[in-house]
Structure 1
């Protein structure tokens, strides 16, 4: 019960306060650890394929191990002093691990910027996506924002929720390390193809079930918001496995179906065009209000996932 309450309180704090800019975020510490470890491992291992793949596995084990062990030991120490102190620390960590409000604020930032001009929209969306944005049209900016919100429902809300309900904030921090490793080294380019292979694969594994739950919550949320949940389900069933990633297409396809738009398609990364599958049918042109609709979908799906996962945990505890 204590873990469930800590997670629910963390979710509520995130909804009310978001990420406090004045407070050092634990994910920043994970990012610094990854950078330091990468430099060390590149010095220790020769730049051969096999050696780099092994170094990438070592990188993952060390970063994830530290990310779990530090909060686990700190919470155990604080709980030994006082159970309420440990509960409070667990709740605060859960709050910092959730990213629902920051994801919503990112979408609103892009919406306001693209409303002002395409150029401002390009600048805004560049903060949140990995693709090249300098040549994006207004439609491209909107699609990039919608895809990011839909995909990051899994990374920022549902996956952390599931892992924190299983193992509290320590397991939630381990997941954030998995996700941060993928975002920092899990690239298919010359520098990270081998070093990041293990991290990319583990991110796929950790997000496999949460991504599918996220998509189902989007479909259910579409019905709650009086969007087309039947179309969301149809497009999800048809297009969910078209993406090269086993997880990214889950939420994007459901979102595209709910909004009657087409997402995905080719995109430019580091000056090179990457062929990507399209999700949904282009029944209408995208509009900047689709960003707000996707934020609403993400929020509804987040609440549904919270209610469902907490109910499952409490039922299993009986």
Structure 2
């Protein structure tokens, strides 16, 4: 039954998510990683640039050890007992974000249908850009861009590393991705300290980001008015425009699939950042366009579940 851990974890997390009551009692693995990263940053992000870079490498290594060793011990323990694979499924689900991502993005669409101010407030919970600088189209684009990018690094990538390396793989991925989101920034504070985290995050997302574009393309065949041809063509053409070697793939695929133009200038902490555009479609997006993107997202999840189940069956059959 070990082959079915990944698809069953996907299925369980998609419909039940991470219980709020459990979050209130013990927090969440990503929160635990975040606290450790904060403590390590306070200890090692000091000195000149070379010292900060060395400190970042040391901090990242300690974080990875803290994620890998417990996960490996737990996995080996569970695989030595009857029905341990059931608990392994339960422990893998917090590292996936299907349900919460869909809920958070849908909340933006619902709020934006009420008022622009409500939409700005809702989108501020899922993006780092200045919400007050966003008009209606900006709020909608921000929500869809987050949905696209998080489809890759919040769902496809953790699933991929769960399949490849089991519970230690998915724990390591989330530790790396959390570190990148916290310290992998090109500002004075993190440029050197976060260098190792940013580079490692690029590497671990290399295959999942491109797989995400493939899944978006496949999903288009089952979503009305979505174009598989434009999804793949736009990803191939526009993904390289992004500063990240990976983030442009899912974002461009969503843009092409739905006939949108995503990306473009945005404001962070009062500073305007001129980013490239992805896709050639309409840019004046509204709440209903967020709902269209969510429809595509749900079908992408279906494609991923089908792929996961297919791989599990192949592995199970090969082991017989």
TM-score, L = length of structure 1: 0.93
Structural mapping, 1:12-91, within 5 Å: 12-23=11-22, 24=26, 25-42=28-45, 46-80=46-80, 82-84=81-83, 86-91=84-89
Q: Structure 1 regions of 5+ residues with no counterpart?
A: none
Aligned in 2, Cα 1:310/1:69: closer, same or farther, shift over 3 Å? Answer: farther
- How far the C-alpha of 1:302 sits from its partner, in A, is 2.2
CA contact (8 A) 1:165 1:310 kept: no
3-state secondary structure, aligned to 2:284: coil
- How far the C-alpha of 1:314 sits from its partner, in A, is 4.7
- How far the C-alpha of 1:88 sits from its partner, in A, is 2.4
Q: Structure 2 regions of 5+ residues with no counterpart?
A: none
Structural mapping, 1:1-318, within 5 Å: 1-2=1-2, 4-23=3-22, 24=26, 25-42=28-45, 46-80=46-80, 82-84=81-83, 86-226=84-224, 227-283=226-282, 285-312=284-311, 314-315=313-314, 318=318
CA contact (8 A) 1:125 1:145 kept: yes
Deviations 1:22-56 (A, max 9, x none): 113222111111111111213xxx42111111111
- How far the C-alpha of 1:247 sits from its partner, in A, is 0.8
3-state secondary structure, aligned to 2:272: strand
Aligned in 2, Cα 1:8/1:253: closer, same or farther, shift over 3 Å? Answer: same
Report runs of 4+ in structure 1 exceeding 4 Å deviation.
Answer: none
CA contact (8 A) 2:11 2:305 kept: no
CA contact (8 A) 2:210 2:246 kept: yes
- How far the C-alpha of 1:245 sits from its partner, in A, is 0.6
3-state secondary structure, aligned to 2:21: coil
1: CA distance, partners of 2:127 / 2:82 = 41
2: CA distance, partners of 1:66 / 1:83 = 27
1: CA distance, partners of 2:181 / 2:282 = 33
3-state secondary structure, aligned to 2:240: coil
- How far the C-alpha of 1:284 sits from its partner, in A, is 6.3
CA contact (8 A) 1:9 1:95 kept: no
1: CA distance, partners of 2:298 / 2:39 = 36
2: CA distance, partners of 1:167 / 1:299 = 26
Deviations 1:176-205 (A, max 9, x none): 001000011111111111111110111111
Aligned in 2, Cα 1:304/1:289: closer, same or farther, shift over 3 Å? Answer: same
CA contact (8 A) 1:162 1:309 kept: no
CA contact (8 A) 2:109 2:119 kept: yes
TM-score, L = length of structure 2: 0.93
1: CA distance, partners of 2:236 / 2:207 = 16
- How far the C-alpha of 1:97 sits from its partner, in A, is 1.1
CA contact (8 A) 2:112 2:287 kept: yes
Aligned residues between the structures = 312
- How far the C-alpha of 1:120 sits from its partner, in A, is 0.7
2: CA distance, partners of 1:204 / 1:284 = 28
